[in-house]
Structure 1
Amino acid sequence: MQPFDVLVVDDSVFMRKIIFDLISEDPGFRVVGTAKNGKEGVEMAKRLKPHVMTMDIEMPEMNGLDALRVIMKEHPVPVIMLSSLTQEGAQETIKALELGAIDFVGKPSGSISLDLYKVKRLLLEKLHIAVKTKVSHFTSPVPTAPKVMQKPKLMPRGNAETPRRDRQTGFEHLIAIGTSTGGPRALHQVLSGFPEHFPAPVVIVQHMPPNFTKSLSQRLDSISNLRVVEAENGMSLEAGTAYVAPGGYHMCIARNGARAYRIHLTKEDPRGGHRPSVDVMFESLLPLKELKRHAVLMTGMGSDGAKGMLALKQAGAVTTIAEAENTCIVYGMPRAAVELKCVTHILPQHEICGHLVQTVIPSS
């Protein structure tokens, strides 16, 4: 079998050499070129037609985001971003994932060093995933909802005197979403379609490291009529708000009184290699039978969430949705749920939000 061709784009000579050596250690890949900036990367991608690219973000002449825009528009190629682990680096990485990058690998913090070898396994794993994906489906711009200038404020925790109607806690429905590879773009598509004053909370597990989930929630908040926040321990669930599980923590939903609910974050062992885990979140909803629960599994590698979705369906969940294969970057998690025969609807990404809205707010 012929190795897959890789193009490496990074402005550091030393980093290009390190990445070249790391990738070359896997016989399944062949580095066919290296570029020192985004402009050169675009030109080489067009000429060499690699199967996959690695792309730095901060580069002279043309940065990684601008190069990604051109590549995804003119000659789509699966791209893995090499990202700084800083807060600023996380924000730029989220933008790259929305623009069509398949995934990212965080560069070690501090000065450039041989510490990059620590991410060798992760880089090669994500390259193997990337070469199996088709990016042609993801080149059109993601629709963006009009920005709402005034969103309902989250009420202070523990304010028992605040009337329930003001705290927006008198909801009957709860939406839970799990996703992984390709998730930031999928979440952008889905959350941008919810209307203002949506009468249910949305809880989200996206497989992503700490810091990046904070940037993801901020970005989603900027494009959605919902208020989107990174979840905090003890936070009350409110309608019209989406809660993103923070990287490094499992997120559970627990009853807090007759019809009130709080978020509980734990550092328990990873489940199936993931923390946060979709299965853990879904399973926490099993006792909440007084709520009309709606579970969604979207693009992602592996099977996290499938067993939890099955348990939810058996426990009376109203809706269980798997994203259709033709819109998934990686058809792993949804496929696992379909194979367990626990899915009530298989929907393309752009139809998921509409179905949820019609179910929660039926037309008269």
Structure 2
Amino acid sequence: MLAKKKLLIVDDSAFMRKLIGDFFTHHPTIEVIGTARNGKDALQKIDQYKPDVVTMDVEMPIMNGLDAVKAIMEKQPLPIVMLSSTTQQGAENTLIAMENGAVDFIAKPSGTISLDLHKIQQELVQKVEHALHAPVRNLRKPVYRRPLHSSMTLRQEQAPVLTTPTVPRQTLPAKAQKAPQRWHAASKKIIVIGTSTGGPRALQEVITKLPEHIQAPILIVQHMPAGFTKSLANRLDQLSAIHVKEAEHGDILQNGTAYIAPGGYHMKLRKVGMSFGIVLDQEEPPRSGHRPAVDVMFESVSQYDDFDKIAVIMTGMGYDGSKGLEALKRNGHVMAIAESQNTCIVYGMPKAAVETQLVDEVADVEDIAQSILKYLP
């Protein structure tokens, strides 16, 4: 019989430590080997108990979760799942924790001490299980940071998506699908990106490398609950040359702008005269457990042949995006890029996409921006 994996629970509330511990009482492969009251206590307990995985509260006295994650990843790297309040500060801190190496996070349903924590029991247990398989070598890699300079804060007004500059035709790479499609370098482009677990780090690696005047709008679905997507958009906007915002219903697509689907809403497109606007839909049920879903966004974009599409699927659990990729490939010109297993935190969504045999290029996350740019004017 295989030895159980060891879990350390870090939270300043004894009540929360007890609740989380109870979730794993009868788990067949994970056992709680200790608890810690704060980050400093956690570092000592990690030395003492040698856990395989950690759950970490964000807001704690003496040493908070952010500093603890940083110290753990520098000294003794481990997969860490953050527990966060849904406040703006909590969301921002959670994103920084993931930049520093945390695998994933889960939002407490009702604040710092959540009496109704049982609502997220299944999701928390699942995230801890998946975290055990995350490659720690990828979590330790420093995430790319664009050097800050004044031009980032003085972005010129973005050109509308309808611009069609004339440039020489580009050469296609070898194709994965049976009938290679022509790629029109001079036609309008749209970039669509889907990701999940490990996505915030991957998005920072890609979005911050895109140039300010990129000749395409960018639509992003990141599996995240409401409240966190706005903080993600704001964080990426601060770090990037392009403009990044949480999508709003009725936004008209602009080149050089990335739109992140808000948590709880599917993101779709509709034609508005000669332009395209964003539709946020809370009526359609979750797809494969997700709203927003990558499949829904891809399928919506696939209905329009006004532009060529560059579809990117990065790290994440499950298979969201694969059905949508099939829809995209059925209509118009599409180049599909999947993140390689080599750099994924979870090689689920990219693996499912590759298995459709419709992916044109597989790239490490640090090379995806360059892969995107070679298909643009």
TM-score tier by shorter-chain length is over 0.9
Q: Where do residues 1-364 of structure 1 align in structure 2 (5 Å cutoff)? A: 1-110=2-111, 112-147=113-148, 148-153=152-157, 167=160, 169-170=162-163, 172-258=188-274, 260-267=275-282, 268-361=284-377
Say if 1:310 and 1:337, in contact at 8 Å, map to a contact too.
no
Moved more, 283-292 or 325-334: 283-292
- Aligned-pair distance for 1:253? 1.6
User: Could you report, residue by residue, the CA deviation over 1:21-50 in whole angstroms, capped at 9, with x for unpaired residues?
Assistant: 222232321111111110121222233221
- Alignment-mate amino acid for residue 279 of structure 2: H
Q: Which residue of 2 aligns with 1:157?
A: none
SS at match of 1:326: coil
User: Could you report, residue by residue, the CA deviation over 1:146-186 in whole angstroms, capped at 9, with x for unpaired residues?
Assistant: 331212457xxxxxxxxxx5x46425110000000110010
SS at match of 1:53: strand
Q: Distance in 1 between matches of 2:57 and 2:349?
A: 28
Moved more, 168-177 or 195-204: 168-177
Q: Distance in 2 between matches of 1:252 and 1:242?
A: 14
SS at match of 2:116: helix
User: Could you report, residue by residue, the CA deviation over 1:338-358 in whole angstroms, capped at 9, with x for unpaired residues?
Assistant: 111110001110000011112
- Aligned-pair distance for 1:317? 3.1
Q: Distance in 1 between matches of 2:112 and 2:146?
A: 40
Say if 2:161 and 2:217, in contact at 8 Å, map to a contact too.
no
User: Sequence identity, in percent?
Assistant: 49
Q: Distance in 2 between matches of 1:290 and 1:118?
A: 44
Say if 2:84 and 2:112, in contact at 8 Å, map to a contact too.
no
- Aligned-pair distance for 1:303? 0.4
SS at match of 2:336: strand
Q: Give structure 2 stretches of 5+ with no counterpart.
A: 165-187
Q: Distance in 1 between matches of 2:67 and 2:45?
A: 15
Moved more, 184-193 or 16-25: 16-25
SS at match of 1:294: strand
- Aligned-pair distance for 1:194? 0.5
Q: What TM-score comes out, normalization by structure 2 length? A: 0.89
Q: Distance in 2 between matches of 1:317 and 1:103?
A: 34
Q: What TM-score comes out, normalization by structure 1 length? A: 0.92
- Alignment-mate amino acid for residue 228 of structure 1: V
SS at match of 1:359: coil
Change (3 A) 1:31 1:196: same
- Aligned-pair distance for 1:18? 1.6
Say if 2:252 and 2:277, in contact at 8 Å, map to a contact too.
yes
User: Could you report, residue by residue, the CA deviation over 1:41-93 in whole angstroms, capped at 9, with x for unpaired residues?
Assistant: 12222332211100011112211001101111221111000101112111111
User: Could you report, residue by residue, the CA deviation over 1:112-143 in whole angstroms, capped at 9, with x for unpaired residues?
Assistant: 35311221111101111111111222212211
Q: Distance in 2 between matches of 1:87 and 1:111?
A: 13
Change (3 A) 1:111 1:298: closer
Q: Distance in 2 between matches of 1:113 and 1:137?
A: 32
Moved more, 201-210 or 307-316: 307-316
User: Could you report, residue by residue, the CA deviation over 1:268-298 in whole angstroms, capped at 9, with x for unpaired residues?
Assistant: 1111111101001001111221211100000
Q: Distance in 1 between matches of 2:206 and 2:87?
A: 27
SS at match of 2:153: coil
Q: Which residue of 1 aligns with 2:185?
A: none
Q: Give structure 1 stretches of 5+ with no counterpart.
A: 155-164
Moved more, 227-236 or 126-135: 126-135
SS at match of 1:341: coil
Deviating runs (4+, > 3 A) in structure 1? Answer: none
SS at match of 2:197: coil
SS at match of 1:33: strand
SS at match of 2:61: coil
